[in-house]
């Protein structure tokens, strides 16, 4: 613990700040940002640096539940009845097999290695749960689209619903066999069904209110309505001990099927959900307990291995039996490895109901979560890349500015703001294109996709000249257009630079005044223009950047004042 107690506001700032830095390193290391947020939370939490004062993490609990509610609402908004019928047609068999095999493998595996039967059964039921926040936010981060992405969302929703039901039924069976059932079985089942029905009814009511309100109110007031409805329903669920995850999933489904502005509603809520997600994973990371993972030992390791095997083999076997595409067979199962929220919440309920039985279950869940939450996003990212469902912009690391370049741009804007008159192109009459030239060999038109990606990742431009074997410019590749191309490994071996290039008439000679470059940039959206030799064969010499021309214009204007 640090020598002084941080205020809760400073704790919030610390968590958001370290997550901001973690996001930069995630880009450098090609990690999902979710993993980075969890790791920095673990770093500043009690397990490592212990920078978060005792009790502060618990104070964020209402906000974390709000984050989960928003994520589940967004997930539900993806499922119109038409889409549900279409996805369910090929996913129900996958879901049933995956749930059955995961629960069965974990239960049998733990029992064979000495775990008591009741404990093994409950852990088998908890193994079914898939972390909705982790999984869905990784899908949103990579803007993925395709059958694996679509099926993942459906399976996550079914998994968590099935986990809750199986857990409750397993507890009833255990108490019945142990003679601890103090009320009739039919009454317990009735209470379970009542809670599920109540949860769904609240979700339908909330969804109808949101759809009606968003159709009636100005869009500027939507966010207030969405937050008001979500927080109120969350409070009702907590007050009456109703499973809130199902409420917000149904709420999203209701909006998807009763509003023609579903997309705009989700976009509006994204303004809030991004910040909530960062805080959710940072705080969640501080709660990860490395010592708990070490403590669970052999039983924990068996739980982890059996759960991973059940998820993957269940999907693979069912997908193969129903003759589904290869990408679904091989990669859908690994998108379901993440586990956290639902399993932790149910493990806590187990402790409250039966401390002797529930405490070791909670220890195993908390210990294994450290593994699942770190490797889960990594497997999702790899799966999406392998199936070609990720846009190129999300699959590679590319930035259009450097720290020094951004500092110079900031200084230039400040200088311009201080001046009474704006600089004109005449101030660059003494500056030549050759003075602003940045050397570049461009991309060979025969370069393969891997070479193109390497060039983009090491460049801070968004426009790349493509040259033939005589170093003549045959076109340019524009990153803003390329970033919408799906990163599909099945076709990348066939792609060459010339396939992605478009012709350009925007070319400069080194002896031209920089004013000519300025005029070209006024008519072009590209951030740099190729510079070629005036003599045959007009070889590429390099590029001139828009930012360099503007900097020269501002600097020369200052000298002439």
Residues 339 and 353: their CA atoms lie apart, in Å, by 22
Of the chain, the percentage scoring pLDDT greater than 70 comes to 94
**Region 79-84 average pLDDT:** 90
Burial per residue of 199-235, b for 16 or more beta-carbon CB atoms within 10 angstroms, e otherwise: bbebbbbbbebbbebbeeeeeeebeebbeebbeebbe
Task: Determine the 3-state secondary structure of 513 from DSSP.
Answer: strand
Q: Residue 2: CA atoms inside 13 Å, Cβ hemisphere, count?
A: 12
Q: Residue 308 pLDDT more than 50?
A: yes
- Provide the token pair at 83: 């889409």
How high does pLDDT run on average in the chain? Answer: 86
Task: Kindly report the number of other CB atoms within 10 A of residue 134's CB atom.
Answer: 29
**CATH top-level class of 8-390:** mainly alpha
Ranked by mean pLDDT, which of 186-200, 410-424, 431-445 comes out on top? Answer: 431-445
In 3-state terms the chain splits into helix, strand, coil percentages (rounded to 5) of 70, 5, 25
Q: Please give the distance of CA 419 from its chain centroid, rounded to a whole number.
A: 43
Task: Determine the 3-state secondary structure of 447 from DSSP.
Answer: coil
The tokens 């669970």 sit on which residue?
Answer: 296
Instruction: Decide the pairing of beta strands 438-439 and 443-444.
Output: unpaired
Q: Residue 214: CA atoms inside 13 Å, Cβ hemisphere, count?
A: 27
Output the pLDDT for position 319.
95
Phi, psi of 74 (to 5 degrees): -60, -40
Residues 48 and 74: their CA atoms lie apart, in Å, by 34
Ranked by mean pLDDT, which of 286-290, 306-310, 548-552 comes out on top? Answer: 306-310
Burial label, 77 (beta-carbon count in 10 A; 0-12, 13-18, 19+): buried
Quick one: residue 271, left, alpha or beta (phi over 0 = left, psi -120 to 50 = alpha)? alpha
Task: Kindly report the number of other CB atoms within 10 A of residue 55's CB atom.
Answer: 9
Q: Which residues lie across from 465 on neighbouring strands? A: 476
**Region 365-390 average pLDDT:** 88
Q: Residue 184 pLDDT more than 80?
A: no
Radius of gyration for the chain, computed over Cα atoms and rounded to the nearest angstrom = 28
Cβ pair 244, 251 in contact under 8 A: no
Q: Choose the weakest-confidence range: 39-48, 296-305, 419-428.
A: 419-428
pLDDT tens for each residue of 12-58: 999 999 998 888 888 777 788 888 888 888 899 888 888 888 888 88
Q: Which residues lie across from 530 on neighbouring strands? A: 543
The tokens 């990579």 sit on which residue?
Answer: 142
| 364 contacts: CB under 8 Å, gap ≥ 6 | 123, 296, 299, 300, 303
Output the pLDDT for position 271.
77
Q: Residue 561 pLDDT more than 60?
A: no
The tokens 């200088």 sit on which residue?
Answer: 415
Output the pLDDT for position 419.
65
- Provide the token pair at 356: 């002797």
Output the pLDDT for position 558.
57
CA angle 520, 525, 531 (to 5 degrees): 45
Ranked by mean pLDDT, which of 178-182, 229-233, 270-274 comes out on top? Answer: 229-233
Name the strand (E) or helix (H) holding 476.
strand 473-478
Q: How confident is the model at residue 421 (pLDDT cuts 50, 70, 90)?
A: low
Sheet holding 438-439, edge to edge: 438-439, 540-545, 528-532
Q: CATH number of the domain at 403-560, please?
A: 3.10.580.10
Residues 81 and 86: their CA atoms lie apart, in Å, by 9
Output the pLDDT for position 426.
53
Q: How confident is the model at residue 222 (pLDDT cuts 50, 70, 90)?
A: very high
What DSSP assignment string belongs to 318-387? HHHHTT--HHHHHHSGGGG----HHHHHHHHHHHHH-HHHHHHHHHHHHHHHHHHHHHHHHHHHHHHHHH
**Region 88-94 average pLDDT:** 92
Ranked by mean pLDDT, which of 31-35, 150-154, 524-528 comes out on top? Answer: 150-154
Q: Residue 167 pLDDT more than 80?
A: yes
Output the pLDDT for position 99.
96
What DSSP assignment string belongs to 254-294? HHHHH-TTHHHHHHHHHHHHHHHHHHHHHHHHHH--HHHHH
Q: How far apart are the first and last CA of the chain?
A: 58
Quick one: residue 242, left, alpha or beta (phi over 0 = left, psi -120 to 50 = alpha)? beta
Q: How confident is the model at residue 310 (pLDDT cuts 50, 70, 90)?
A: very high
Q: Choose the weakest-confidence range: 151-160, 345-354, 392-401.
A: 392-401
Q: Choose the weakest-confidence range: 255-264, 281-290, 305-314, 404-413.
A: 404-413
pLDDT tens for each residue of 336-362: 999 877 788 788 888 888 888 888 888
Cβ pair 351, 8 in contact under 8 A: no
- Provide the token pair at 206: 């909330």
Residues 236 and 79: their CA atoms lie apart, in Å, by 24
Q: Residue 231 pLDDT more than 80?
A: yes
Q: What is the DSSP letter of 36?
A: H
**Region 145-166 average pLDDT:** 91
More confident residue, 425 or 297: 297
Output the pLDDT for position 25.
84
Domains of the chain, residue spans: 8-390, 403-560
Burial per residue of 497-518, b for 16 or more beta-carbon CB atoms within 10 angstroms, e otherwise: bbebbeebeeebbbebbbbbbb
* Closest C-alpha to 274, from 151, 136, 146: 136
**Region 513-531 average pLDDT:** 88
| 190 contacts: CB under 8 Å, gap ≥ 6 | none
**Region 178-190 average pLDDT:** 74
**Region 531-555 average pLDDT:** 87
More confident residue, 251 or 340: 251
**Region 428-445 average pLDDT:** 84
Q: Residue 6 pLDDT more than 50?
A: yes
Q: Choose the weakest-confidence range: 89-98, 163-172, 289-298, 360-369.
A: 289-298
Q: Choose the weakest-confidence range: 433-437, 476-480, 489-493.
A: 489-493
Q: Residue 254 pLDDT more than 70?
A: yes
Task: Kindly report the number of other CB atoms within 10 A of residue 556's CB atom.
Answer: 18
Q: How confident is the model at residue 422 (pLDDT cuts 50, 70, 90)?
A: low
The tokens 């969890």 sit on which residue?
Answer: 38
Output the pLDDT for position 2.
45
**Region 316-336 average pLDDT:** 94
* Closest C-alpha to 74, from 133, 32, 130: 133
Q: Residue 68 pLDDT more than 50?
A: yes
pTM of the predicted model over 0.85: no
Inter-CA distances, 485 with 17, 145, 394, Å? 32, 12, 10
Cβ pair 286, 74 in contact under 8 A: no
Q: Residue 423 pLDDT more than 90?
A: no
């Amino acid at each position: 613990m640090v020598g002084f107690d941080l205020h809760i506001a400073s704790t919030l700032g610390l968590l958001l700040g370290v997550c901001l830095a973690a996001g930069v390193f995630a880009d450098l290391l090609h990690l999902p940002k979710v993993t980075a947020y969890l790791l920095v939370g673990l770093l500043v939490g009690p397990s490592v640096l212990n920078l978060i004062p005792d009790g502060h993490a618990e104070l964020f609990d209402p906000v974390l539940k709000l984050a989960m509610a928003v994520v589940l609402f967004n997930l539900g908004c993806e499922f119109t009845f038409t889409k549900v019928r279409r996805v369910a047609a090929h996913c129900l068999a996958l879901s049933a097999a995956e749930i059955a095999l995961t629960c069965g493998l974990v239960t049998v595996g733990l029992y064979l290695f000495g775990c008591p039967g009741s404990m093994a059964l409950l852990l088998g039921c908890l193994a079914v749960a898939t972390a909705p926040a982790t999984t869905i936010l990784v899908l949103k981060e990579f803007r993925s689209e395709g059958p694996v992405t679509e099926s993942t969302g459906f399976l996550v929703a079914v998994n968590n619903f099935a986990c809750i039901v199986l857990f409750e039924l397993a507890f009833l069976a255990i108490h019945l066999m142990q003679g601890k059932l103090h009320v009739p079985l039919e009454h317990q089942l009735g209470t379970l069904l009542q809670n599920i029905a109540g949860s769904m009814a609240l979700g339908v009511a909330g969804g109808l209110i949101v759809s009606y309100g968003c159709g009636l109110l100005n869009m500027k007031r939507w966010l207030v309505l969405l937050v008001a409805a979500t927080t109120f329903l969350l409070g009702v669920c907590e007050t009456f001990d109703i499973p809130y995850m199902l409420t917000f999933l149904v709420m999203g489904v209701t909006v998807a099927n009763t509003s023609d502005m579903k997309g705009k509603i989700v976009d509006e809520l994204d303004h809030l959900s991004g910040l909530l997600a960062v805080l959710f994973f940072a705080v969640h990371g501080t709660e990860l307990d490395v010592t708990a993972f070490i403590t669970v030992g052999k039983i924990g390791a068996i739980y982890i291995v059996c759960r991973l095997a059940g998820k993957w083999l269940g999907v693979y076997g069912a997908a193969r039996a129903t003759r589904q595409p290869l990408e679904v067979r091989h990669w859908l199962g690994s998108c379901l490895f993440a586990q956290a929220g639902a399993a932790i919440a149910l493990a806590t309920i187990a402790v409250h109901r039966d401390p002797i039985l529930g405490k070791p279950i909670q220890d195993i869940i908390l210990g294994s979560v450290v593994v699942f939450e770190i490797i889960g996003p990594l497997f999702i990212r790899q799966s999406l890349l392998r199936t070609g469902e990720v846009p190129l912009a999300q699959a590679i690391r590319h930035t259009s500015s450097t720290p020094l370049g951004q500092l110079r741009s900031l200084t230039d804007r400040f200088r311009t703001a201080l001046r009474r008159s704006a600089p004109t192109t005449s101030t660059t009459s003494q500056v030549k294109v050759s003075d602003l030239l940045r050397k570049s060999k461009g991309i060979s038109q025969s370069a393969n996709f891997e070479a193109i990606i390497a060039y983009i990742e090491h460049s801070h431009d968004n426009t790349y000249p493509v040259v033939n074997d005589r170093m003549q410019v045959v076109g340019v590749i524009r990153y803003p257009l390329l970033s919408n191309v799906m990163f599909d490994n099945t076709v990348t071996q066939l792609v060459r630079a010339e396939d992605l290039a478009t012709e350009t008439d925007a070319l400069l000679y080194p002896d031209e005044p920089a004013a000519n470059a300025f005029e070209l940039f006024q008519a072009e959206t590209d951030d740099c223009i190729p510079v070629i030799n005036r003599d045959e064969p007009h070889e590429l010499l390099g590029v001139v950047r828009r930012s360099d021309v503007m900097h020269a214009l501002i600097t020369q204007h200052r000298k002439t004042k």
